[in-house]
Structure 1
Amino acid sequence: MRAIGVNPWVWASPVDDEALAGLIPRIAAFGFDAVELPLEQPGDWDPARIRDLLDSHGLAAAAVCAVTPPGRDLVNTAPATVESTVAYLKTCVDKAAAVGAPCVGGPVYAAVGRTWRMTAAARTACYTDFRRALAPVADHAGERGVSIGVEALNRYETSVVNTVEQTLDLVDGLPPNVGIMIDTYHMNIEEADPYAALVTAGPRVKHVQVSGTHRGAPGADHFDWPRFFAALAVTGYGGAVCIESFTAQNETIATAASIWRPLAPSQDLLAQEGLAYLRTVIR
């Protein structure tokens, strides 16, 4: 049966050693198989400590989530910013390798919320700049057995890539360990047919995040989840799927993710109900 994971952002931010020490036992007790590990700052959590904690509770590290606040950009920015962002992404790769996570995923091209208009020529140049900047990260990851999943975001959060088709264009020519991180929340906004888009992504799918169309629990929304998982099976992706949602109690993350109201009676219920629903549709 496919592993189901959850992102600790459901409950906390920053996700640091202290937060994970409290959350990992609860996540295991709820019945999850895996955990996504966001890395907001390079020193937030110690990989040796977290790997031991995961192992002791029978959980896998599904992915390390790269976080791109203002100032983490690979495109349309100063060379010094590209250099510092590459260093941060290499740290994400090292942490992933240390905890046994197969993938680093996220919108690794530009800061979330950063948008600008591009002509066709400017977009081509932007994508070329991205490939050049990410290449050393891809090589670093390949040497460590880690893949990179590039995440398309909705139009309100980026102007670089919003769809699977654009993301395939963006990563074209990069090594095969670079592909796509699927996020159903963004797909629901941007894809005319998210299920066909997923099939198009095919073997380039490196990691999968799921949430309801309202950013709450999958299943309590209008998304056709059985159809989604049928399409996912066609891609050949065999990794975990992870619930990604956010707590409304942390001002920084709630503002960044536009969480203006509670999405469930409690964050525990959001995770538990999402897990219970996914168990009914994932075979």
Structure 2
Amino acid sequence: MSLDLKFGVSTWLWTSPFSTETIALFPKIKAMGYDLVEIPVEDPALVDIVRVKAALALHELEPVICGAFGTSRDLTHDDPAYHKTSMDYIEACLDICVGLGAKFFAGPMYSAVGKARLVSAEQKQVEWERAVTNLQKVCVQADARGLEIALEPLNRFESDLINTAQDVMQLVQDINHPAAKVLLDGFHMNIEEPDIEKAILLAGEKLIHVQVSENYRGTPGTGQTRWDAYKRGLTTIGYTGAVSIESFTPEVKELAGAVCIWRPLVPSQDGFAQEGLQFLKKWAAEPLPAAPASPINYQTL
């Protein structure tokens, strides 16, 4: 059974920050065969909605809007001023979603990326409750605009709050708003999930977007990722959304430093995008792989 998917790519593969001038990438992205483009909004002021919308229409690309949550954007911070900064930024991104015709706003918006500490259970509960309360407000804002939010778990080196599908599903349950949905990113899953297929099944109907790269952030199909597990999981839940490549270029030093890419992962970023899409289309079209045999329990032998 093949998967009926759309395929996207993040402009972070080539550049940062996204600005109106980044629309120069759109013809190339479309010519490669992509259906959509991920637009990471680091600074909403850099996005001319009218021009970007016209470029999307001209090149027949759908937009996915993703957030960038640096240290100043933290809904779990002890200082409420950070909550205000975060909410203002999120609201601006929601308006960009509406202006460009996106259906949801995605990202790890519960806390600042890189906030990874060993804290007490009491402090973690306080921050969890702040995330829930503030994201309930975000959901109300999104719903008023006809949008959803896609909450993304991050690996342990980038967040101490939400690392797994189980974590994010608990967060969605506590938010208890229909606009709260889930994004799963394969890079983080390859670090945190014991079983990719089970993680996808746990997200189930809440899963509205999937990001992929290889386990080392490289081109899909060139590493250790269990693509068979992805295929079984997405097929079982009837996923019909997009699978989008997200990785980064070492040429943008600030971004590369933020995601700890210290060397080129590929000979060219264009090759990354082209070969990654070729692999993903072949993967989606192949027959559903059988589940692996149960592992041997050596304790019973």
Query: What's the TM-score, normalizing by structure 2?
Result: 0.90
Show the counterpart of 1:3: 6
Q: Which amino acid aligns with 2:110?
A: Y
Deviation at 1:223, TM superposition (A): 0.9
Deviations 1:221-268 (A, max 9, x none): 111213202211222332111100101001110001111111111000
Report if aligned partners of 1:24, 1:54 keep a CA contact under 8 Å in 2. yes
Report if aligned partners of 2:20, 2:47 keep a CA contact under 8 Å in 1. yes
Deviation at 1:128, TM superposition (A): 1.5
Report if aligned partners of 2:196, 2:229 keep a CA contact under 8 Å in 1. no
Distance 2:194 2:123 in 1: 25
Distance 2:106 2:13 in 1: 17
Distance 1:206 1:252 in 2: 29
Show the counterpart of 1:158: 159
Deviates more, 1:172-181 or 1:116-125: 116-125
* Percent of residue pairs bearing the same amino acid type: 38
Distance 1:235 1:178 in 2: 18
Distance 2:151 2:210 in 1: 11
Deviation at 1:202, TM superposition (A): 0.6
Within 5 A, what are the aligned runs for 1:137-152? 137-152=138-153
Distance 2:127 2:50 in 1: 37
Show the counterpart of 1:176: 178
Structure 1 gap ranges (5+):
none
Within 5 A, what are the aligned runs for 1:179-258? 179-258=181-260
Q: Which amino acid aligns with 2:9?
A: V
Greater radius of gyration (CA): 2
Structure 2 gap ranges (5+):
286-301
Q: Which amino acid aligns with 2:245?
A: I
Deviations 1:83-116 (A, max 9, x none): 1101111111111121111121111012211122
Distance 2:119 2:172 in 1: 18
Show the counterpart of 2:268: 266
Q: Which amino acid aligns with 2:261?
A: I
Show the counterpart of 2:105: 104
Report if aligned partners of 2:111, 2:131 keep a CA contact under 8 Å in 1. no
Report if aligned partners of 1:147, 1:206 keep a CA contact under 8 Å in 2. no
Show the counterpart of 2:18: 15
The one of 23, 36, 39 aligned to 1:34: 36
Within 5 A, what are the aligned runs for 1:8-157? 8-20=11-23, 22-61=24-63, 63-157=64-158
Give me the CA root mean square deviation. Answer: 1.3
